[in-house]
Amino acid sequence: MKASGQSGQKRVQIIFNSRSVRKSRFVNPGRLCVKSGEEVIFEAKNTTTTIWIPNAEELFENGEKHLIFDIENGDKSKTFKVEKDLERGKEYPYAVYCENSDDFAEGNTSPRMIIE
């Protein structure tokens, strides 16, 4: 699934819906396909989030081993640039905690980035 954004840039939205019966929280898209050299930005909607990306040093240029960062409600993360020459088809799962629901967000599956 393609995420919105400028050419060469993918946007991931973390959305909290307090109006639903289950107070849903989800990541859109849940499975983000990225190419080497593309940029990724995370955006929080209706909740403050904490994102944890294990093995970020493989996925992003200048990435840390275990990247953990917060995004305030309505804000965006810094831009992360995908490393060059990554193995096609490799998946990078990550976790998104939503403060408003005191629980983790979901995608169609657990959120992950997949190298195209």
Domain parsing of the chain, residue ranges? 9-115
What does the alpha-carbon distance between residue 5 and residue 11 come to, in Å, rounded to a whole number?
Answer: 6
Mean pLDDT of the chain: 85
The closest of 101, 104, 107 to 18, measured between CA atoms, is: 101
Task: Give the global pTM.
Answer: 0.82
Q: What is the pLDDT of residues 70-82, one digit of tens each?
A: 999 999 999 999 9
Is the CB of residue 40 less than 8 Å from the CB of residue 10? Answer: yes
Answer CATH for 9-115 from 2.60.40.420, 3.10.450.50, 3.40.630.40, 2.60.40.10:
2.60.40.420
Residue 14 has pLDDT above 70, yes or no: yes
DSSP H helices in the chain? 56-59
- 108: tokens are 């169609």
Task: Report the first-to-last Cα separation within the chain, whole angstroms.
Answer: 11
Residue 3 has pLDDT above 90, yes or no: no
